[in-house]
Structure 1
Amino acid sequence: MSEPLIRTVGLTKYFQTPKGMLHAVEDVNLRIDKGETLGVVGESGCGKTTLGRVLMRLVEATSGEVQLNGENILLLKGREKINIYNSLQMIFQDPYSSLNPRLSIGNIIEDPIKTMGPKMSKKELNDRVLNLMDIVGLPPRYYNSYPHELDGGRRQRVGLARALALNPKFIVCDEPVSALDVSIQAQILNLLMDLQEQNQLSYMFITHNLFVVQHISSHIAVMYMGQIVEYGTKEKLFSNPTHPYTKALLAAVPQPDLSMRNQKREILHGEVTSPINPAPGCRFAARCPYVKKQCTEAVIPLTRLEEGHHCACILCQ
């Protein structure tokens, strides 16, 4: 098997709080190959965004590794650390707050090029910005506009153009379509997929929308309270979900087919336990209909079920 573009090894992030240590991301091991999209799904607060930010070094990890082409980028400092952003970029969830309201659209897109890109003349820089705007479907007339003058879809296109400015290899997409209308969501998703095909880009696509993740992803990681509980190709995960939490997520998706209205669904009961100083064992045990004594005694490791499918549950072992 070839070396992945991105690999995480035991990636962990804790936050100190007045009540104790909050386990936001814990022992995450993932790989993303060139040209692949890894979808990360889970309920709000499960640690998806923190995982993306730690991977980008916008938040420093507590422990573990993030490897880019085999090199642990968490060890890089100074200029070497800054240079990783030539290869790694991020599209943020809120297309308004992630853009500087004092800069025009042209200035926002050219800023990373002027800061970290090759030296360019004013004309070359202007041509590059206009080319990026054309790639993401922004007419040239918006060059001198400001973020507050654009709608949500166009703002997200600005964020995408800015992310593409340095020709990155990998982009973390943090719920980039959640704030947009359905028709605009489809446009942005299709644009992301077209750019991936043209430039062999790799994505980590963070979302809670299972329809979206099925459409865009090649592999999917299901996250619960900072841990990956199921991981596999989208075909295996949607056709044979194994972890009770994955089954419950899929059961919550509305089905337009009336013939499926009587199908048995996994319904979750109980409250999400606190991520601060969590008890040993499976984090999902308090809500799981199949919980057993051993679920609360020790950490349940992510176990290989078959090629391209892993699950962290005693039912899988």
Structure 2
Amino acid sequence: TAAMLEGTGLAPVHAKHPNRVFDVAIAEQHGVTFAAGLATEGFRPIAAIYSTFLQRGFDSVVHDVVVQGLPVIIAMDRAGFVGDDGKTHQGFIDISYLRCLPGMVVAAPKDETELRDLLYTAVQHLDGPFAIRYPRGAGTGAATDVAMKAIPIGKGEILREGADITLAGFGAPVAECLKAADILEEAGIQATVVNARYAKPLDEALFVELARKTGGIITAEENVRSGGFGDAVLEALSDHGLAASVLDTITMPDAIVDHGPQKTMRQIHQLDAAGIAARAKAALEAKPKRISGAKSASA
């Protein structure tokens, strides 16, 4: 890590394993290249860096990791809305600048248990770099006293099924999508909820199936729209002539987001349950012929 032992939660690990945790100080580019060097010698390095500061190491990610095809794991803390650390710390573009890199896996867990499982998966992945983004703050309370398991790369999961619309979350917004589905159900709208897990490689087959089975797809992510998870879904469905099935992509704005509590920022930018539900209702009302439950939704 690069001067982020405390912030990334590595201080206890460093205390227990001082010879396996290295703080390279405020030198993110060097930290990434250091991890690449370890990978050439057969180690399984994890570069734990805040999303915003990984931008400083991007050149090393490209030339020293991606071009070399090295299995470096990038753990991006503080992805998405960061809270009161300030506008410079918002993790708002990492999906975009990593998804374009050849061979890069880009993943995000729905909760702390899945974060552990994705790290477990990444350690076993030897075919190139593996990036995992996760938000600042406490977990959701998911059980962690279960055995770790590998998650198939490029495979999402359906958490709830409904015929009228699909809510697809990437990372932290998955929990809000589940709550939004409850709100929609009260309005007579049945929503499928998807935990995408991977923005690259995307579970293309799953999204093609849902585009054909449900009334449309809404994506939710804490990243800007350009090049993000929603764009990945649009690109994949466009290849199948199904781009119109993406009714809305809910993202961070095309602006520098000011600092403030995460809850407040999610409310402002409609990435909380109420906002996602409202956007879903509006999308369905705009395209009533595309859903089976249009009349009940209008009512």
Q: Shorter-normalised TM-score: what interval?
A: 0.3 to 0.5
Max Rg structure: 1
Which structure has greater helix proportion? 2
Q: Which has the higher contact order (CA 8 A, sep 6+)?
A: 1
